[in-house]
Amino acid sequence: MKTMKTIKLLSLGLLATLVFSACSDDDDAPQVINEEEVITTLKLKLTPEGGGEIITFTYRDLDGDGSNPEITSPSLSANTTYTGRVEFLNELEDPAEDITIEVLEEAEEHQVFYIVEDSLNAIPTYTGALDNDGNPVGVEFSLAIGDASQGNFTVFLIHEGDKNAPGASEGDLTEVGGETDIEVTFNVTVE
Amino acid sequence: MYQKSILLCLFIFFSFVTQAQDCELTISGKVIDIHDKSPLFGAVVQLVGLNKGVYTDKNGFYKIEGVCEGEVQLKVSHPFCEPETKSINLKENRQINFKLEHHLEELNEVLLKGKLYNNESNSSISNQIKTQELEKFSNASLGDALKSISGVSSLNTGNSIVKPIIQGLHSSRVLVINDNVRLHDQQWGVDHAPNVDINSAANITVIKGASALKYGGDAIGGTIVIEPQKAPIKDTIMGKTILNASSNGRGGNISTSFIKAKSSGFNYRFQGSLKRLGDLEAPDYQLTNTGQRENNLSLGIGLNKIDYGIDFSYRLTNSEIGILRASHIGNARDLVNSINRQEPFFIEDFSYTIDNPKQEVTHQIYKLETFKKIKNLGELSLQYSFQQNNRLEFDIRRGGRGDTPAMDMELKTHTLLTQLEWTSLEGFDSNFGLEFNAQNNFVNPNTGVRRLIPDYNMYTAGIFATTAYDVSERWDLDAGVRYDFNTIDADKFYITSRWEKLGYDQLFPEFEIGEDGNQILTNPQFDYHNISATVGATYTFKNDFKLIGNLSSGSRAPNPSELFSDGLHHSISSIELGDLQLDSEQSFKAGVGFQGVVEKFGFNIQPYINYIEDFIVLEPNGIETTIRGAFPVYEYRQTNARLYGIDVSANYSFNNLEFLSNFAYVNGRDVEQNEALINMPPFNVSNTITYSKKEWNNFYVSLNSQLVTQQNEFPDNNFRTDIVNTTSGEFEEVEVDVSSTPEAYHLLNFSSGLDFDFNKTKLSINVMINNVLNTNYRDYLNRLRFYADEVGTNAMLQLKLNY
């Protein structure tokens, strides 16, 4: 009897050891993950009404969060109205992924806001098509420029904010809430 | 055996032949517990067939006088024992001792694997919650139940993710032992609640400090030992069902369990529970997306003899927990807005739907254990366990990715534990053990989100020896030592610029193994050697007062999150960075326990001091501006820390009234920087008054008052950042106040109940109302305190059926 039990115990131990040692052989190198939801680049394309060269503002950060972004902020002409369009890109993909399309597809969840510093003589107005709830998405806009001035021009892409909040449809961000997907500021000079 | 029976029959035969009448004989003796030899008080010793019976006294002695000569049959029974019968042929005064199979109630002695944790024989400073108290928390979480112990608080993420804090320390510094298996469930995460179904526990012991060396030397905060209901060695079926309904969350849970046991030692067990809750409600608004679902199951089968046994068990916990929608924000500007607002941005009508962000966690434990008692040596046991933790975290994502988890981790752990309990040396109770652990963490790359922590393999080997020495009736000493070797081998991609910015290209060039685009693949490998030890003494005074002194030193290797994390942490919108240069923490803790009972007054005082070398803290270190806006960057660093505090509980009963009072104070400081440690529980005091009347179906009514003061000792981690004023468009510098602590609060909780006995079943009805006054408050130890108030009034009805 005794030996039987000992054998039983031993075999149990052996079994356990076998299972134990046969575990997890994931020695292969892990697969690289290229972040899918990254937005590396924001471009503001401004076309003067009545024709002229397209002026492009760019914020580009290709090397992960916070490491020296590349910002271009050309000057604008006084007393001109521009037709504007914002583009969001993931330039880590090849070819670059146009996230603006995604934003438009999920129009009810997104809104772009343009906040102009008081010192800058510029008035943005939404011009694009409305979403299914009748609210602006804000990808397309017009920018009426006054006299020569200088100041900050900040672009926000807000996800799941309250698009029915007071003033939201006119571009007032104060009561919207939601989460900020993009927040980029350009220092704009009007000449 | 057969021979004995034959002999017995012969005796009986002869006794009939030689009948003679002399009724002046005495039978006396002692009734003791077969396992620990303790005397059994109140056992009934009867002469079968004759109307004669006596009870054993305090020392287990009995005496039956005036017994007639001849054949008598003695039957001894005890409420918690299997009755035993003995036939004797009485010719003269006899002394007959009985050894009974005791502990059908506590059962710790006859269970498979003997006593799990016997805090009587050890100087660890500990507290226990028993079944009855635990059942009140049937629809809450483990962390909620533990908070009823003075000195235990919790770190919450919302209201459903509750992580225990023992004397100021939590996460990797607290071990959770479920049915003798150390839980490996990504416990490093502050928002990862322990995967334990509270309904599967029969009792829970909290050991404060690193003195439970059997379970690991890294319990710098403490160890939580959860023991399930064990099967007795007798023919029985035990079962219970608990049904809870709660008004807040408009749902409830059901839990049921049964154990079938045979006197042969064979038994099987089943326990399961289901929980469904919708959105919780704060006094003034709905807490959108705070619903939860839980499905738990545990099964067991075993053969449990006195001297050997084998047992298999399986446990499954599966939970889906919604995370307050308003706590998911984009950047520091959103955080400032949330802090400044009194109400969350997202408030929707009540719903049972659990949307993103949410967690879905499945944890499984398979355990096979066996023991054998060896003569003149002790008990040898072997346990193998396999655990699998699958953690999915769903985030609010763009582009229809909501159904793809943002984090998908699978942690597998194999553990082999072998122990020898050596008891054959008089006065000594020693334990020697070896533990091997192999762990693999795999992060699914299909999430489209970079891994917060990497794939890794970790192997650990531990060896320990503990002994308790019974010096005298009054003095007990104990000591133990444990060595752990720990090796971790990870494969991690760093963004090349981050790798260089942290200086790792200079410090750890040997880890670089490849490059892929802007990411560098590295293979960090680290070994850690940890030594832990404990020594203590217990002195029992003449009046049964007890003074316990314990010194322990625990050592903890840095966890994967502290080493490797790099990425955005949503709950406070910060970027968190691990540090590859971290060393093990070493704690030196001295604790004292002084307890006693004077008539109707009982008390327990537990002061302690804990000094931790190389304590790992997460601290802000600048701001990073990204395309999403500004974020504070938190980095791990090491310092020396000192914690001291006191936990006190006292109770007093007066007629049908009982007063219970608990309070705890802890003070933690970073002694290098001379500032307070973050997330130290504020001073809190809980007072309960209960009126009970046994005659009225065990009626009781109880009122509990809970006061949590404001924490005035906290580090200033506030940071300043420029935020665009959405009206003027100007940048304004603001201070982001992530440090200030919420105001003190006071809560009232009410409970009442009745029991009804029907034949073999017992029905208990309890009514509980938490936060009776619907008080608005926020808790410093809730990581979502920036976003919403805590829950308001919650009325619960509980039906409990024992059969």
Q: Where are the domains of chain A?
A: 41-190
Work out the average pLDDT over B131-140.
Answer: 91
Q: How far apart are CA B45 and CA B40, in angstroms?
A: 12
Which CATH class name applies to A41-190? mainly beta
* Residue corresponding to tokens 């583009």: A87
Cα-Cα-Cα-Cα torsion B557, B558, B564, B566, nearest 10 degrees, comes to 170
Q: Which residues of A touch B724 (CB under 8 A)?
A: 115, 152, 154, 183, 185
Q: What is the dihedral of CA B450, B452, B455, B460, to 10 degrees?
A: 170
| Residue B459 backbone phi and psi in degrees, to 5 | -120, 135
Measure the CA–CA gap between A109 and B235, rounded to whole angstroms: 63
Q: Alpha-carbon distance B541 to B539, whole Å?
A: 6
Residue B48 pLDDT more than 70?
A: yes
Pairing of β B25-33 and β B98-100: parallel
Which residues are paired to B421 by β-bridges?
B379, B431
Tokens for B567, please give them.
């990425």
Query: Is the Cβ–Cβ distance between B155 and B173 less than 8 Å?
Result: no
Q: Are B454 and B492 in contact (CB under 8 A)?
A: yes
Candidates B310, B440, B450, B628: best to mutate against A (most CBs of A within 10 A) is: B628
φ, ψ of residue B748 to 5 degrees: the values are -115, 135
Please state, rounded to an integer, the average pLDDT across all residues of chain B.
89
Q: Which tokens is B68 given?
A: 């007639």
Which residues have C-beta within 8 Å of that of residue B89, sequence separation ≥ 6? B11, B12, B14, B15, B70, B71, B72
Q: Residue B392 falls within a domain, yes or no?
A: yes
- Say how many residues make up chain B: 803
B44 vs B64: CA distance, rounded Å: 11
CA distance B619 to chain A (A): 19
Using the predicted structure, report yes or no on whether residue B37 has a pLDDT greater than 70. Answer: no
Which of A113, A172, A182 is facing B627, going by the closest CB pair? A182
Before B560, cis peptide (omega within 30)?
A: no
Residue B306 has pLDDT above 80, yes or no: no
Q: What is the pLDDT of residue A173?
A: 92
Q: What is the mean pLDDT of residues B446-464?
A: 93
Judge whether B418 lies within some domain. Answer: yes
- Spell out where B91-137 has E strands: 94-95, 98-100, 125-129
With CA atoms as reference, report the closest residue to B578 among B452, B678, B716.
B452
Host domain of residue B89: 25-100
Q: Do B386 and A19 touch (CB under 8 A)?
A: yes
Q: Give residue A84's pLDDT.
A: 94
pLDDT at B572 over 50: yes
Lowest mean pLDDT among B226-240, B336-350, B494-508, B560-574: B560-574
Domain boundary among B70, B100, B130: B100
What's the pLDDT at B175?
96
Give the gap in angstroms from C-alpha A139 to the nearest C-alpha of chain B: 16
CB contact under 8 A, A37 and B521: no
| Cα–Cα dist B262/B235, whole Å | 4
- Count other Cβ atoms within 10 Å, centred on residue A145: 21
Q: Do residues B176 and B165 touch, judged by C-beta distance below 8 A?
A: no
For the segment A6-30, the average pLDDT, to the nearest whole number, is 54
Give yes or no for a contact between A126 and A166, defined as CB atoms under 8 angstroms apart.
Answer: no
Q: Is residue B169 part of a domain?
A: no
B229 Cβ neighbours under 8 A, 6+ residues apart: B131, B202, B238, B257, B259, B269, B271
Min Cα–Cα distance to chain B from A95, Å: 15
pLDDT tens for B385-406 read 999 999 999 988 877 888 999 9
Is B95 in the same domain as B231? Answer: no
Task: Return the SS3 of B444.
Answer: coil
Q: Which string of b and e fits A34-52 if b means at least 16 CB within 10 Å?
A: bbbbbbbbbbbebbbeeee
Determine what percent of chain A is predicted with pLDDT higher than 70.
Answer: 84
Mean pLDDT highest for which of A4-13, B305-314, B460-469? Answer: B460-469
**Mutant choice from B312, B337, B398, B570 vs A, greatest count of A C-beta within 10 A:** B398
The residue written with tokens 């068990």 in the block is B313
What percentage of chain A has pLDDT greater than the value 90?
63
**Which residue among B100, B135, B164 closes a domain?**
B100
Q: Is B560 domain-assigned?
A: yes
Question: What length is written for chain A?
Answer: 191
Nearest residue, CB atoms, A102 vs list B399, B514, B575: B399
A66 in contact with B at a CB cutoff of 8 Å?
yes
| Strand runs labelled E in B174-250 | 174-178, 181-182, 203-208, 222-227, 236-246
Cα B401 from Cα A137, distance rounded (Å): 20
Neighbours of B7 (CB within 10 A): 10
Asked if B443 and A30 touch (Cβ cutoff 8 Å), the reply is yes
The first and second tokens of residue B793, run together, are 């009034």
Encode pLDDT of B60-115 as tens digits: 888 888 888 888 888 888 765 667 788 888 888 888 888 776 544 443 333 333 33
- pTM tops 0.90, yes or no: no
Smallest Cβ–Cβ distance between A20 and the set B384, B568, B624 belongs to: B384
Assembly ipTM: 0.84
CATH of residue B558: 2.40.170.20
Give the pLDDT score at A66. Answer: 60
Model pLDDT, residue B16: 42
Tokens of residue A184, six digits: 């980029």
DSSP per-residue string spanning chain A: -HHHHHHHHHHHHHHHHHHHHT-----SPPPP---SS---EEEEEEEETTS-PPEEEEEE--SSTTS--EEE---B-TT-EEEEEEEEEETTSSSPEEHHHHHHHTGGGEEEEEEE-TTS-EEEEE-S-B-TTS-B--SEEEEEE-SSEEEEEEEEEEES--TTSTTGGGT--TTT-SEEEEEEEEEEEE-
B31 strand-pairing partners: B98
CA of B205: how far to CAs of A69, B146, B166, in Å? 54, 9, 12
Partner-chain contact B626 A179, CB within 8 Å: no
Residue B749: the pLDDT is 97
Identify the residue with better confidence: B96 or A11.
B96
Query: What are the tens digits of pLDDT across the range B197-254?
Result: 999 999 999 999 888 899 999 999 999 999 998 888 888 899 999 999 999 999 999 9
pLDDT of residue B10: 41
Q: What is the pLDDT of residues B698-733, one digit of tens each?
A: 999 999 999 999 999 999 999 888 899 988 989 999
User: Which of B78, B100, B122 is the endpoint of a domain?
Assistant: B100
Domain membership flag for residue B330: yes
Total number of domains constituting chain B: 2
Q: Which of A7, A32, A92, A186 to mutate to test the interface with B (most CBs of B within 10 A)?
A: A32
Within a domain: B207 = no
> Which pLDDT band, with edges at 50, 70 and 90, does B803 fall under?
confident
